[in-house]
Amino acid sequence: MARILLVGDRFCPAAILREAFGDLEADHEITSVDVLDEPSWSPATPSEHRLREVIGSPGQVIAALDGHDVLVVQGAPVTEEVLDAAPALRLVCCARGGPVNVDVAAATARGIPVVTTPGKNADAVAELTIGFLILLARRLPEVIRHVENGGEFAHDNYEGARWFGRDLAGKTLGLVGYGQVGRRVAVRARAFGMQVLVFDPYVEAATIAADGAEAVELTALLERSDAVSLHARATAENRGLVGRDQLARMKPGAFLINTARDILVDEAAVVEALEMRRLGGFAVDVPSPSPGEGRHPLLAFPNVVITTHIGGATIETLHHAGAMAAAEIGRFLRGEPLVNLADRAVVVQAGAAISPTTR
């Protein structure tokens, strides 16, 4: 019997994760707890400084660890100190796409595999991306603000002449990144009758073509697309992926959508492109913080949509995370190969998953 600790948080409560562990609960001990926001805590150790997007503190996790073999977290921090406080620990599961709140190197050094749940929110983010595309194409932000600010409506059947937008059918959508989310966006865009271009140097052109899309270089994508949507990873190489030069290459009036990470876009350059009316609209789920006091500079434009990082904020996303975590843990306990290892330097030997003498 394994002892499994589920650590939830304000985004993903442990109770929701636990719903997916019914099959495992019959044979294993499941404990669940939620960490709380701890504003007074700040990173102090080198291990803590390696983490990002943390909810709670290492101390809260350590307090809940009591001889557990498996630890499941969503946003709670897993540091060297946490790992050292759990000598029985054999597996860490981070129920998100990337283990940014887990010190994977420290786990690897201790022979503890870390698994993730990539694609748990892919459908949700893809749907939001298409929603953004429709909002911009039909000028809905401008229309909604017009009505909310007391503008005239329901006057006659022809007042829509002021708000002519664009159909999606026949237009070209450029996807920068063709992973879990990008692929799903492509499927939905083609259902609207759109042509899809893809730039992703890590995906074979033949794979992209088999999906009904066209693989192109970034410059060609920018020049040919009526809308560009970003789905690349946030890496040092991708910082400022879309800046002044890239915006200048886009079609006049084209749209830019970012449901990935803020560092991919030079937002000061976006502001300039909007001021020049070269960019037709911008939608972003992960904007950078306002550079100063007062309103964010992007809010000055009627053709901008900003949301509060809601891309993966659906109930289904949380259930997907729980189901994927439970499936991975089930494989681990049966001694089967793990699917979503964060560091493949850790090899799990069949039959050694929960051995109390194997670290």
Domain harbouring 149, CATH code: 3.40.50.720
Are 35 and 61 in contact, with CB atoms under 8 Å apart?
yes
Whether 248 maps to a domain, the answer reads yes
User: CA 103 to CA 343: how far, in whole Å?
Assistant: 11
Are 114 and 348 in contact, with CB atoms under 8 Å apart?
no
- Looking at residue 235, what is its pLDDT? 87
Whether 350 maps to a domain, the answer reads no
- Looking at residue 347, what is its pLDDT? 62
Residues 6+ apart with CB under 8 A from 47: 79, 80, 81, 103, 106
Whether 107 maps to a domain, the answer reads yes
Does 128 lie in the same domain as 116? no
Does 141 lie in the same domain as 105? no
Whether 340 maps to a domain, the answer reads no
Across the strands, what pairs with 32?
A: 6
Does 286 lie in the same domain as 193? yes
Whether 358 maps to a domain, the answer reads no
Does 42 lie in the same domain as 80? yes
Residues 6+ apart with CB under 8 A from 45: 79, 80, 81
User: 122-137 vs 315-333: helix axis angle to the nearest 10?
Assistant: 160
Does 175 lie in the same domain as 240? yes
Whether 344 maps to a domain, the answer reads no
Residues 6+ apart with CB under 8 A from 179: 200, 231, 233
Q: How many CB atoms lie within 10 A of CB 317?
A: 21
Domain extent at residue 212? 122-306
Does 322 lie in the same domain as 295? no
Does 280 lie in the same domain as 133? yes
Does 321 lie in the same domain as 245? no
Q: What are phi and psi of 317, to 5 degrees?
A: -60, -45
Number of domains in the chain: 2
Q: Which ranges of the chain have pLDDT less than 70?
A: 347-359
Does 133 lie in the same domain as 151? yes
Does 145 lie in the same domain as 33? no
Whether 351 maps to a domain, the answer reads no
Whether 359 maps to a domain, the answer reads no
- pTM, full prediction: 0.89
User: CA 231 to CA 125: how far, in whole Å?
Assistant: 10
Does 295 lie in the same domain as 170? yes
Does 154 lie in the same domain as 288? yes
